[in-house]
Copies of this chain bind each other. A is one copy, B any other.
Amino acid sequence: MATIRDVAQRAGVSPATVSYVLNNSGPVRPETRERVLRAIAELGYHPHAGARQLKRRRSDTVGLILPTGERRLSDPFFLELIHALGDACADHQLDLLIATCRDPAADLRLIDRLYKGRRVDGFLLIDLQRRDPRIPHLQAAGIPFVAFGRIEGNGEFPWVDVDGEAGIREAVAYLVERGHRRIAYLSPPLSFTFAHHRLEGYRKGLAEAGLPLEEALIRIARPTMEAGYEAARALLVEGIPFTALIAATDLMALGAMRALHEAGRIPGQDVAVIGFDDIPMAAQTHPPLTTLRQPMDQIGQALIRTWLAAVRGETPPPTLIQPVLIRRESA
């Protein structure tokens, strides 16, 4: 494999000059640059990442911890997120390192190994819990990171999030405007921060419309299709009347629609349904799902931009991204 010395020799210059060309640091005569570039192309030279990392003291790599096992993320939403992150990384010449972790205890050890070993320059945290042990750990260790999501009390750290509260409020307003008065709400456990915000949106939305908050209409269920199904079925079985239903994630909405179908109540006709996320499948359900889109590209870009700032040692401001109501036939 060619090294910088090989390139230097071939171009008839010193390695230092090659380095200057490579990094656009230092003054190089245009003609020399030309020769160096030609040598690079001819040799098919690519700088050794490890050597660079060693010398520059950074790896230009973003760390992403993916929980597996029990906590595994099976929402297709995350595949979209990974895509968006990958794209945003590519735009900034960064690499994306995915590390998986079976149990929460190992999370922190993994973080240390990757960071102290300089394998990554900082982290992206996803699937945030309201009280997330990773946050204090990272803060204490002075490891740069950006969270996708917030924690209880909006601690002092860089984050990017989608405004779930505003989104759900908009959904409620939309339904109210269409004459709905009894709107059920499917919420994931409040240990997820996003669940908390979205529920808040539901509350405020009702309040703004002057509607009472009825506890029986609110169901807590895991953010999966199955749990959404069960929760909606429970509502139906218990005979709680409602003409519309908002689910905090599309997956839950899909489950709910299945329950409605089974009960002979046509979604979009007998019961309005609204989801959240706009996973690709949402456009293809029966009927197509009205939902709040999380603008993935924007999210990816914001996360990486913020991450870069954090790694540079700045304290970038949080970013709150507005979801977009996508009207389809389910509501």
Which residues of A pack against B, CB within 8 Å? Answer: 1, 44-54, 59, 61, 66, 68, 72-74, 76, 78-80, 82-83, 86-87, 89-90, 95-102, 112-114, 116-119, 224-226, 229, 251, 254-255, 258, 261-262, 280-281, 283-286
Contacts and interface: CB of A to CB of B under 8 A. Distances in A.
Contact of A46 (B61, B112, B281): B112
A101 B89 CA distance: 11
A10 to B, nearest CB: 16
Contact of A74 (B79, B98, B118): B79
Contact of A226 (B102, B261, B283): B283
B100 A97 contact: no
List the 3 shortest-distance A-B pairs measured between CB atoms, nearest first.
Answer: A86-B100, A50-B53, A46-B116
Contact of A51 (B54, B72, B101): B54
15 contacts: A44-B112, A44-B116, A46-B112, A49-B59, A50-B54, A50-B59, A61-B97, A68-B86, A73-B79, A76-B79, A79-B79, A79-B82, A87-B100, A224-B280, A261-B286
A168 to B, nearest CB: 23
A280 B251 CA distance: 11
Given A1-B116, A49-B50, A50-B53, 7 more contacts: A45-B116, A49-B117, A50-B54, A68-B87, A76-B76, A224-B284, A258-B285
How many copies of this kind of chain does the complex include?
Answer: 2
A255 B283 CA distance: 11
A29 B61 CA distance: 38
A118 B225 contact: no
Contacts of A59: 49-50
B86 A66 contact: yes
A1 to B, nearest CB: 6
B53 A49 contact: yes
A127 to B, nearest CB: 13
Contacts of A52: 50
A72 B86 CA distance: 11
B97 A83 contact: no
Contacts of A262: 286
A224 B284 CA distance: 10
A127 B172 CA distance: 41
Nearest to A262: B286
A110 to B, nearest CB: 9
